[in-house]
Amino acid sequence: VTILVKDFKEERKKHLQEGARMMANLSAQLVSLDRARKNYEKAFKEAERALDNFQRADADLNLSRAEVEKQRMNMAIKSQQCEETKNEYANQLQKTNDLQ
């Protein structure tokens, strides 16, 4: 009986350690997910702002074509960055869901 009790205590200890490790992993993943979400929100707002600036520049007949092209390139770069951060956020979300 004492051997059985000892075995159960050891098994319980292993399970508690495993549970603590899993909770630590989940907490770390939630922090990563939140960071990815904030990065995505920031990139999305910057992409929207770049699109607005390009549309304003394109409609303004007083601006040179070089300035309009500069705004178009900025819009393309910000859109690409937004897409990359969106993919990173999706990856982090999937990892978080897998850990739960």
Q: Give the tens place of pLDDT for each residue, 32-45.
A: 999 999 999 999 99
Residue 100 has pLDDT above 90, yes or no: no
pLDDT band (50, 70, 90) for residue 56: very high
* DSSP states along 13-29: HHHHHHHHHHHHHHHHH
List of domains in the chain: 2-99 (1.20.1270.60)
Rg of the chain in Å (alpha carbons): 25
- 74: Cβ contacts below 8 Å, ≥ 6 apart: 50, 53, 54
d(CA 46, CA 76) in angstroms, rounded, equals 11
